[in-house]
Amino acid sequence: MTAPADVIFTNAEIHTLAETDETAEAVAVRDGEIVRVDNAYEVDFLEGVETEVIDLDGRVLLPGFIDAHTHLMMVGSYLVNADLSDADSPADCVELLAELDADREWVLGYGFDESMWEESRYLTRDDLDSVSETRPVVAFREDMHTASVNSEALSRLRDEMPDEDVETKGGEPTGVIVEDAVDAIYEAIEPDAETMRELLLSAQRDAHEKGITGVHDMVRRSRAPEVYRRLELDGELSLRVRINYWSDHIDAIEEIGLQTNHGSEFVRTGGIKTFTDGSFGGRTAKLSEPYADGEGTGQWVVSPEELDELVTRADDAGLQVTAHAIGDEAIDATLDAFCETGDPGAMRHRVEHVELITDEQIERFADSGIVASVQPNFLKWAQEGGLYDARLGEERRKRTNRFRTLLDAGANLAFGSDCMPLDPLLGIHQTVNAPVEAQQLSVTEALRAYTHGAAYAGFDENRLGTVENGKKADFVVLDGSPWEHEDDIEDIGVAMTVVDGDVVFDGRND
């Protein structure tokens, strides 16, 4: 006699998204694990008197989305400060910032993207002085490597900002800052544990509303790891969090012997996060050929020599490395550093973003087993006349984000959002409807990259990422079928999110 299930989800169109995608009608869960996936008749046998039966009215049930690249503290920051991601002009941003209540010490806005505006320019010191002349005002660009600040913020922190990262005109700062100068701001506004708790809990709610059940979070000099563990102990964490620690934590990590995959049911150690280059928005991504619309080939944030050293050290300590590389030159340097460890596929070292890639690099990904951790939502810049066109020109624009070619070559592809914005269905929509064939995936392939692919990048493919017996009961339930709505996947509603068999978001009849 088999023990009854705790919960049965039935009357659904279940896609397992296993190696071959199979469909079923019902799934039974016991102790947070999937115990049967089958037709409703077969699964009914596991119904006991205490079993909760959830009728999904024919909706689509998939493995929960795993976002392989998040900054949840930032998501929380968007939610509790000014969210500039929908602004469409500098004036709009100024208005949103001015609406924040007046008792805040810092006036903060997140996520502006001037590349999508008609008046396509960065916010300036003058813009932000009009918000306040007495309180520091900061507007972060969506890529987080560039920000605009007002005079008060500059006067407080100018000494902490390296000259080369502070833009000037006629000797005066314009208010635009990049890289290390932006870090000075992050340091000054770092939240305490209580604020961090508030930020992470609001981000967790947002993630569940988008169908996300697990994240690989990138964490730097913050209380986030401590707060995640505290939330788990308090029974308040319902998102599986894999923490990737910024490289400036490596001494501490080595000292306490933390290794990749250490951890609990909900909080695990990922690897070491580092950078090589900047971004296309800031013209700081490192290219082999100059920018189409500016001087130079970008800049190293971490030099190849430093990167080599860090990768060797992390690999020796049993730590996976996740290295940000956007331009082709940066991707080369990162692949070189990873390959020097001998077997980079074994540690599943990851290149984050992989935006401008050469054919030869695609082969190197496939041969080495290095994970391409990419963001399909970045394809919003790949349209004709978009950001990639401006920065790179047409030929290189068409070589960005080539998920089709990577997958066909046999590379490990993991999808994430980098929180620009946090929204897997939007990313899946972008790649299914991408402008260039080399960027296009089928619905099934795109969904797999956001589930199984991301799980693999986190050594989690035996626990997460498909709807199969023995896997964790982490699901997303959709109001419509992405296979039947290829043209408007981004508009499909998330009806329910389930983690460990528990319903953590229920948006039915919303």
Q: Which residues bind Zn ion (CB under 5 A)?
A: 418
Give 17 or 357: the residue with its C-beta nearer to Zn ion.
Answer: 357
CA atoms within 13 A on the CB side of 234: 10
Q: How far is the CB of 204 from Zn ion (least distance, A)?
A: 18
Q: Between 66 and 128, whose beta carbon lies closer to Zn ion?
A: 66
Please name the residue that has the structure tokens 């919003």. Answer: 380
CB of 13 to Zn ion, least distance (A): 34
Residue 208 and residue 377: Cα distance in Å, rounded? 18
Q: Pick from 70, 3, 60, 63: which is nearest to 273 by CA?
A: 70
Bridge-based pairing of strands 320-325 and 350-353 is parallel
In the complex, what is the shortest distance from the CB of residue 274 to Zn ion, in angstroms, rounded to a whole number? 12
- Minimum gap (Å) between residue 58 Cβ and Zn ion: 37
Do the strands 350-353 and 82-83 form a parallel or antiparallel pair, or are they unpaired? unpaired
Closest CB to Zn ion among residues 151, 401: 401
Helix (H, G, I), strand (E, B) or coil at 140: strand
CB of 76 to Zn ion, least distance (A): 15
By beta-carbon proximity to Zn ion, the closer residue of 142 and 418 is 418
Q: How far is the CB of 359 from Zn ion (least distance, A)?
A: 26
Tokens of 443: 């619905």
Amino acid, res. 461 = E
Contacting residues for 429 by C-beta, under 8 A, at least 6 apart: 488, 489, 490
Report residue 176: phi and psi, to 5°.
-90, 130
Spatial separation of the C-alpha atoms in residues 134 and 132, rounded to whole Å: 6
Residue 324 CB, nearest approach to Zn ion (Å): 7
Phi, psi of 444 (to 5 degrees): -65, -45
Please identify, using beta-carbon distances, which residue of 223 and 324 lies nearer to Zn ion. Answer: 324
Is the sign of the CA dihedral 9, 15, 20, 24 positive or negative? positive
Instruction: Name the closest residue to Zn ion (Cβ).
Output: 418
Kind plus residue range of the DSSP H or E element containing 60? strand 60-63
Choose between 54 and 224: whose C-beta lies nearer to Zn ion.
Answer: 224
Residue 9 or residue 112: which is nearer to Zn ion going by CB? 112
DSSP summary character for residue 394: H
